[in-house]
């Protein structure tokens, strides 16, 4: 019996190694599996947001479509990152930052879109301040992770960009607009959730950078698994917050119209 179990284990290991050698998933590689699962989730979320954009009020449609772009871009990059990990078994840093350089600005645009729906007089300054913070956060983070500049310098300057974004959505023009009494409860709920994700969810990234690149205490496997799970929450949940507000707001206005009739 022990011999049979040992033989079965050897065969299973051989099949796993053969699959990995040909670019397929190794069932023992949790990181590769997480890349695959999240890439499919991003594609599914894209289809969902596009379909739901046809069932919400007109002023929400653009926000829903931008959300679909966020998950679509992430999904495409995750397919490439999965292949990179499976075949090379190294962190796909370049692919991650290309993904973030597109999806994070789109998420910042989402703040502008939902607030403009409430206050059309919001100036372009808020949008550009969010963009400046985003560019600084990603540029210095990438330079630090790829040793173009010192890891500590990249970490500090990247944090400064993130804090600049937080200052805008808490105490800047965006934060003040969100606290306006004219804002509907649905828009307010969406904004609060999005702001929570940018504050708490995004904190995972500098934490991973700090432990993985500055302290040397995290393996590439653990670091990529954490980044993958963070992307899933910070992209899909971010867009789901907008969808939930859009559906609730549309339903409320539909009931009000029926009441008037």
CA distances from 204 to 136, 209, 252 (A): 18, 9, 36
Residue 258 lies in a domain: no
Report pLDDT for 21: 59
Q: What is the pTM of this model?
A: 0.86
The one-character DSSP state at 26 is P
φ and ψ at 119, to 5 degrees? -130, 95
**Domain CATH number, residue 126:** 1.20.1070.10
Residue 4: per-residue pLDDT: 46
pLDDT along the chain (261 residues), means of 10: 48 57 74 93 96 90 94 95 89 93 92 76 82 94 91 93 92 77 76 89 87 74 87 92 89 77 63
Is residue 260 domain-resident?
A: no
Answer whether residue 200 is part of any domain: yes
Distance CA 16, CA 26 (A): 5
Inside any domain, residue 56: yes
**Is residue 261 in some structural domain?**
no
Q: For residue 1, what are its two tokens?
A: 């019996």
Which domain covers residue 201, as residue numbers?
A: 2-250
Which pairs with CB-CB distance under 8 Å and at least 24 residues apart come from 208-217? 209/141, 209/144, 209/145, 209/155, 209/158, 210/155, 213/144, 213/145, 213/151, 213/155, 214/151, 214/152, 214/155
pLDDT number for residue 3? 47
Backbone phi, then psi, for 130, in 5-degree steps?
-65, -40
Residue 120 lies in a domain: yes
Number of compact structural domains in the chain: 1
Residue among 237, 235, 243 nearest 65 (CA): 243
Within-domain flag for 256 = no
C-beta of residue 135 within 8 angstroms of C-beta of residue 124: no
User: Three-state SS across 147-178?
Assistant: CCCCHHHHHHHHHHHHHHHHHHHHCCHHHHHH
pLDDT of residue 15: 60
Assigned domain for 216 exists: yes
Rounded-to-5 percentages of helix, strand, coil across the chain: 85, 0, 15
Give the model confidence (pLDDT) of 61-70 as tens digits: 999 999 999 9
The per-residue pLDDT for 166 is 93
65 touches 45 (CB < 8 A): no
Structural tokens at position 160:
């400064």
Q: What is the pLDDT of residue 8?
A: 44
What does the pLDDT read at residue 184?
75
């Amino acid at each position: 019996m022990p011999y049979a179990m040992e033989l079965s284990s050897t065969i299973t290991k051989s099949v796993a190694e053969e699959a990995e050698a040909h670019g397929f998933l190794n069932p023992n590689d949790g990181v590769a599996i997480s890349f695959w699962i999240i890439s499919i989730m991003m594609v599914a979320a894209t289809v969902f947001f596009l379909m739901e954009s046809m069932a919400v009020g007109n002023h929400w449609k653009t926000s829903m479509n931008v959300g679909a772009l966020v998950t679509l871009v992430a999904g495409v990059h995750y397919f490439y990152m999965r292949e990179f990990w499976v075949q090379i078994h190294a962190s796909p840093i370049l692919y991650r930052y290309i993904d973030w350089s597109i999806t994070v600005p789109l998420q910042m645009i989402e703040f502008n879109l939902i607030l403009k729906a409430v206050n059309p007089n919001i100036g372009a300054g808020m949008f550009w301040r969010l963009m400046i913070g985003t560019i600084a956060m990603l540029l210095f983070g990438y330079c630090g992770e790829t040793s173009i500049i010192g890891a500590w310098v990249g970490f500090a300057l990247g944090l400064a960009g993130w804090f600049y974004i937080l200052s805008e959505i808490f105490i800047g023009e965006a934060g003040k607009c969100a606290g306006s009494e004219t804002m509907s409860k649905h828009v307010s709920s969406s904004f609060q959730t999005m702001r929570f994700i940018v504050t708490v969810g995004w904190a995972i990234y500098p934490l991973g950078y700090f432990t993985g690149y500055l302290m040397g205490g995290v393996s590439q496997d653990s670091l990529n698994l954490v980044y993958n799970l963070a992307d899933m929450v910070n992209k899909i949940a971010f867009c789901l917050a907008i969808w939930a507000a859009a559906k609730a707001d549309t339903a409320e206005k539909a009931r009000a119209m029926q009441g008037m009739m």
